[in-house]
Chain A
Amino acid sequence: MLAQNGIPTPADLAGVLPPADRLAQGPVAIAECYQNIPCDPCYHSCKQGAIREFIDINERPQVDFEKCNGCGTCMSRCPGLAIFVVDATYSDSEALVKIPYEFLPLPEAGETVTAINRAGQAVGEAKVIRVQNTRVQDRTAIVWLAVPKELMMEVRHFNVKGVR
């Protein structure tokens, strides 16, 4: 339970995940933001209008999965690092998970890293496909990981090998 240990339950997750048919169409944002807090940069950062306008700043983000193209702009503006982009169409066996990442060293494309779940446990290996770290992102890098499809809703962090 989030309030007790910081880990969302499957029921929490079910409320924010895109439907299977949308996942089958390509990259899409998932806002894992479960609490009514005074925060709205995700809404302001999305140029597609895919995050519904906040009438009250304490609302939770609502992603319109049809409008979202998975560009990931919102990811590096979210102070909670709570938005991930998942592309289930990456390959037959693998999905792409884009992860906001603020630790050093940054991995490099091609590197294999340890894939970590929301509870901080290693769940397998992932391959770094790309690292986005532009000036606009203001020191919140976005790391693209290729993971086995069955782990695409599990992997939300990673460890660079050899670095604690």
Chain B
Amino acid sequence: MKHREIAIIGGGPAGLAAALRAANLGARVLLIDRSDYLGGQLIKQTHRFFGSKEQRASERGIDIARELAAGVTANEKIQVMTEATALGYYEDGVLLVEHHNKITAVKPDRLIIATGGAEKNLMFPNNDLPGIYGAGAVQTLVNVFGVKPGKKVLMVGAGNIGVIVSYQLLQAGVEVAAIIEAAPRIGAYWVHAAKVVRAGVPIYTRHTIKRAYGEQEVSGATIVQLDENLQPVPGTEKDIDADVICLSVGLTPLTELLWQAGCQMIFVPELGGNVPLRNEFLETSVPGIYVAGDVAGIEEASAAMMEGALAGLNAAASLGYTSESLASDRKNVLAQLAGLRSGPVGEKIRKGLAQAML
């Protein structure tokens, strides 16, 4: 059995930031990720990020991931375990990790869960035809492996992810037939939307996919307009030819470990589904278990980094580590988080978080 001061599950922006802050305070950290790389979602985000200077606005996700990962790898207080999946956390404080077909038991004093989110699916006839993907998968194919998923894509969902992945498909030389969105308004930042629209991709709000068609694989979809009550308007059906349908209908927190560890959970639609209750230190109802990033509520990489920093500082501080600037560091991170969430686009998050506090 390995003893560790802090174990962090998930090497996305939240986990990386947590590891750096905790180690800088002096704690010994074990960072676990099931992928063979660090960076989480960031490694496929080739676009420039929003946010403010402190959150590295205007830098590209891939570059932020590279820099954070390099900092973590170079830090001698942080041990990194990739290709390692956390399987469960038990009452006696033992964390089981599967690593290269071997199960290792770790006993951490503190645990930070930063497992991110998983894509939601959409129900419609023939949604199991080959050629129908989640947007995350398409983004991984195109931006990580350099593989085009097809020639012509119908994107379902006009949130930031649907619009950004459409843009990246265009950059890869793939045609995007249209982006459809059931809601009456585009959810993505309008500047992102404007970018794909001027590049020739129409966005149809109040539209949904009625069914996909195709024999062996998808060859198109019938879309239909929706009325105020989200009911299909008869006679508005339209066929769109496409050999790829890309679903971008939201993420939901990846919370299995939290359930299993006995953390109190609550269903908050604004945060993407079931999320752990947490206090202002990002500690859950199980003492010693902290959360950060999308697993605590689907938000953004900038917020994930800030939450990670906060969880890392708090977990290390709870072990007695401190520094002269601890109080002001904490305050600074909290102020940045509040700033990010303060505007009209942050309203949903604010409403959601208000329901998820212990």
List residues of A whose CB falls within 8 A of some B CB. Answer: 2-8, 32-41, 44-45, 56-58, 77-82, 102-104, 116-120, 138-140, 156-157, 164
Stretch from B199-207, B262-270, B274-282 contacting the other chain:
B199-207
Smallest CB gap from B345: residue in A: A37
Q: Are A116 and B200 in contact (CB-based, < 8 A)?
A: yes
Range for the number of chain B residues in contact with chain A: 35 or more
Q: Are B340 and A5 in contact (CB-based, < 8 A)?
A: no
Assembled-state Cα–Cα distance A7/B201 (Å): 11
Q: Could you say which residues of chain B place their CB within 8 Å of the CB of A120? A: 197-202
Mark each residue of chain B from 159 to 170: 1 if its CB lies under 8 Å from any CB of chain A, else 0: 000000000001
A-side binding surface: helix, strand, loop or mixed?
loop
Assembled-state Cα–Cα distance A33/B189 (Å): 10
Q: Are B205 and A5 in contact (CB-based, < 8 A)?
A: yes
Given contacts A5-B203, A58-B342, A82-B191, contact A37 B196 (CB under 8 A): no
Q: Are A82 and B194 in contact (CB-based, < 8 A)?
A: yes
User: Separation in Å of the A86 CB from the closest CB of chain B?
Assistant: 16
Q: Could you say which residues of chain A place their CB within 8 Å of the CB of B190? A: 2-3, 6, 34-35
A-B contact count (CB 8 A): 135
Q: Are B339 and A80 in contact (CB-based, < 8 A)?
A: no
Counting chain A CB atoms within 10 Å of each CB, the highest count among B48, B52, B185 belongs to B48
Q: Could you say which residues of chain A place their CB within 8 Å of the CB of B204? A: 5
Is B238 interfacial (CB-CB < 8 Å)? no
Q: Are B50 and A79 in contact (CB-based, < 8 A)?
A: yes
Is B2 interfacial (CB-CB < 8 Å)? no
Stretch from B53-61, B85-93, B224-232, B253-261 contacting the other chain:
B53-61
Q: Are A116 and B205 in contact (CB-based, < 8 A)?
A: no
Q: Are B198 and A157 in contact (CB-based, < 8 A)?
A: yes
Q: Are A80 and B198 in contact (CB-based, < 8 A)?
A: no
Q: Are A41 and B58 in contact (CB-based, < 8 A)?
A: yes
User: Separation in Å of the B219 CB from the closest CB of chain A?
Assistant: 20
A-B contact pairs, 21 of them (CB 8 A): A2-B193, A6-B203, A33-B191, A37-B343, A37-B345, A38-B302, A38-B340, A40-B57, A41-B58, A56-B343, A77-B48, A79-B49, A80-B191, A80-B194, A81-B195, A82-B191, A82-B194, A103-B170, A116-B199, A120-B199, A164-B173
Q: Could you say which residues of chain A place their CB within 8 Å of the CB of B345? A: 35-38, 58
- Which parts of B140-177 form the interface with A (CB within 8 Å)? 170-171, 173, 175
Counting chain A CB atoms within 10 Å of each CB, the highest count among B57, B190, B202, B342 belongs to B190
Smallest CB gap from A82: residue in B: B191
Q: Could you say which residues of chain B place their CB within 8 Å of the CB of A164? A: 173, 175
| Closest 5 A/B residue pairs (Cβ) | A80-B191, A58-B343, A6-B193, A79-B48, A41-B58
Given contacts A56-B342, A116-B200, contact A80 B195 (CB under 8 A): yes
Given contacts A116-B198, A120-B202, contact A38 B185 (CB under 8 A): no
Smallest CB gap from A12: residue in B: B190
Q: Could you say which residues of chain B place their CB within 8 Å of the CB of A41? A: 48, 53, 57-58
Q: Could you say which residues of chain B place their CB within 8 Å of the CB of A2? A: 186, 190, 193-194
Q: Are A44 and B198 in contact (CB-based, < 8 A)?
A: no
Q: Are A5 and B197 in contact (CB-based, < 8 A)?
A: yes
Smallest CB gap from B195: residue in A: A81
Is B287 interfacial (CB-CB < 8 Å)? no
Q: Are B189 and A35 in contact (CB-based, < 8 A)?
A: yes
Assembled-state Cα–Cα distance A3/B189 (Å): 9
Counting chain A CB atoms within 10 Å of each CB, the highest count among B170, B195, B345 belongs to B195
Is B184 interfacial (CB-CB < 8 Å)? yes
User: Separation in Å of the A99 CB from the closest CB of chain B?
Assistant: 10
Smallest CB gap from B168: residue in A: A102
Q: Are B197 and A6 in contact (CB-based, < 8 A)?
A: yes
20 additional A-B pairs beyond A34-B190, A81-B191, A138-B60, beta carbons within 8 Å, are A2-B193, A3-B205, A6-B193, A8-B194, A32-B194, A33-B191, A40-B52, A41-B48, A41-B53, A56-B339, A57-B52, A77-B58, A78-B48, A79-B57, A79-B191, A102-B171, A103-B199, A117-B198, A140-B48, A156-B198
